[in-house]
Structure 1
Amino acid sequence: GISAAGACEVALRISQTVENATIVFVVCDRGDRYLSTGVFPA
């Protein structure tokens, strides 16, 4: 969603201004829209 895209953009911008750093961003998703697809076996 838009929040994940914003977090990605910030991480990319930070990565252009620092050296020798590990930059991590986390995308949170409940996954409820995928329950009916069989991705999560019972």
Structure 2
Amino acid sequence: METESVQRVMFRIEWQLCELDTGGLVRCPPKDDSYRTIDSTD
């Protein structure tokens, strides 16, 4: 777990998993570069 990205009740979206043609997974930027902070109480 990457705790430097975790805040009290907020989550920071900085990457997503993308599947390669080979079936492997790699980290990629969020779709459409939609970096954002989400409030977990919503």
The structure in which a higher percent of residues are strand is 2
TM-score between the two structures when normalised by the length of structure 1: 0.25
Which structure has more relative contact order (CA 8 Å, sep 6+)? It is: 2
The structure number with the bigger radius of gyration is 1
The structure in which a higher percent of residues are helix is 1
TM-score between the two structures when normalised by the length of structure 2: 0.25
